[in-house]
Amino acid sequence: MCQRWEEYVLLIESLMKLSEREEKSSESKGRDKIKKMKDVAREAAEHLEAMDATDFFMAYGGLKIERQKNIKRSGFVLLYLEENWFRKAVVAYFKKSPEMEVEAKKPAKGGVQQSLVVDINGRKSAYYAKVLGTFNKNYGTWPFDKPPVDLREIFVYRLLSSIGVGSKEVHVIPDVPNSGYVYLATKMIENFFTADGHTEDYLRTGSTKNDKSVKGSKKKAEDQLDMLGWLLRLHDLGVENKANYGFIARLMSDSSTSFELRIVDFRVLAKNANQSPYFPKAKDSKMKSEWKKFAEVWKLTDKIDEAWKKMEEDLAIRKRFEEDKNAYEGKNQQDQNLFDYRDGVKDNLQKLVKEEQSGSGAAKKPRTD
């Protein structure tokens, strides 16, 4: 195993050199550079897999630290986006014992990002796993950016889960070489259908035979969507994309149907972005009064802290979390900084509460008796 480690280190050095050359090369040579980088990264990852399968890094703790220092993200991102390595990471994460059956397949109707439908022991549990960030299926052309994992997205998924508007389970999955890139998997929501009526069958097979009727009043759910879109600076929802949110229908005692909101995908706007359709609605005082009630029912202040604690404790994103923390403390402005984003969400929530209290106070007339 020590010889395998030495070979791995040599591959990492080669990957770094290729990466530096790749950043300077012309477009015509770019694809060849990417292929070479991918080949080297693949071989290095295979060495890591073999060492991880033994107690090598437990026996040589110092090398485990060195392993993290050696990793160059610009090379391993190519494996991160490759379907085979994506599937490997997801299956390894969910296969907790040799007896477990884990199957990961491409969905018939996935989004722009690489994604997999994951079935555990048949369909006793099912998850939707995806690549994080702005990478799409056609990624890998020259030149390419190497943006970090956007921790804001993971934070929002965890917050939505805590308030009952997202999936019950949110899993952050390290890539095979543990390079700092992660995938995200959420448990499929039972009886969920999208705002345009599609069910899980449509995602899996493209079939519409089990589509649901979306007729009926969904005002409360849509008001909640507006509120969360404004508070969390979300887009790619609502009229923009009806596949990213939907409902669970509940039959009420009076035979009417109640629609409960569920959000399954979204994008987080940059810090100074202004194009969200939810921002203008924040100026409506009546709307804000309803939003404040939602915040109280969801116990949002506590739930934000709960989601934040999970981010702090997640080893899979530790390196990226520390990078955001250092940038934040150093006043280094970044559009995707998690700490800046948390502050913005808390500020929005505080404004909502204060403005509503102020508005309520202004509406009261002094007593004259």
Banded model confidence at residue 204, pLDDT cuts 50, 70, 90: very high
Considering only residues 90 and 178, tell me which one the structure prediction assigns the higher pLDDT.
90
Whole-number pLDDT of residue 276:
61
The secondary structure of residue 251, as a DSSP letter, is E
pLDDT at 367 over 50: no
Using alpha carbons, list the distances in angstroms from residue 155 to 175, 196, 209, 285, 345: 19, 26, 35, 28, 11
Summarize pLDDT for 102-146 with one digit per residue, the tens.
999 999 987 777 899 999 998 889 999 998 865 544 444 433 445
Sheet holding 257-263, edge to edge: 193-194, 245-251, 257-263
Residue 236 phi, psi dihedral angles, 5° rounding: 65, 35
Considering only residues 230 and 44, tell me which one the structure prediction assigns the higher pLDDT.
230
- Please give the average per-residue pLDDT across 44-68, as a whole number: 74
- Please give the average per-residue pLDDT across 305-327, as a whole number: 93
The total number of residues shown for the chain amounts to 369
Q: Which of 57-61, 87-91, 136-140, 176-180 has the highest mean pLDDT?
A: 87-91
Which residues 6+ apart lie within 8 Å of 343 measured at CB? none
Beta bridge pairs of residue 115: 130
pLDDT at 178 over 90: no
Q: Which of 15-19, 171-175, 330-334 has the highest mean pLDDT?
A: 171-175
**Torsion-angle region of residue 8: left (phi > 0), alpha (psi -120 to 50) or beta?**
alpha
- Please give the average per-residue pLDDT across 61-85, as a whole number: 67
Alpha helices in 128-185 (DSSP H): 151-162
Helix (H, G, I), strand (E, B), or coil: what is residue 221?
helix
- Please give the average per-residue pLDDT across 204-208, as a whole number: 92
CA angle 148, 153, 158 (to 5 degrees): 135
Considering only residues 171 and 98, tell me which one the structure prediction assigns the higher pLDDT.
171
> What DSSP string runs through 39-93?
HHHHHHHHHHHHHHTTTHHHH-HHHHHHHHHH--HHHHHHHHTSHHHHHHHHHHH
Contact, 333 vs 276, CB < 8 A? no
pLDDT at 233 over 50: yes
How many Å apart are CA 205 and CA 117, to the nearest integer?
Answer: 11
How many Å apart are CA 260 and CA 239, to the nearest integer?
Answer: 18
Q: What percentage of the chain's residues is helix, strand, coil (to nearest 5)?
A: 50, 15, 35
Q: Which of 86-90, 166-170, 207-211 has the highest mean pLDDT?
A: 166-170
Element (H, E) at 171: strand 170-174
Summarize pLDDT for 236-255 with one digit per residue, the tens.
887 778 999 999 998 878 87
The secondary structure of residue 334, as a DSSP letter, is -
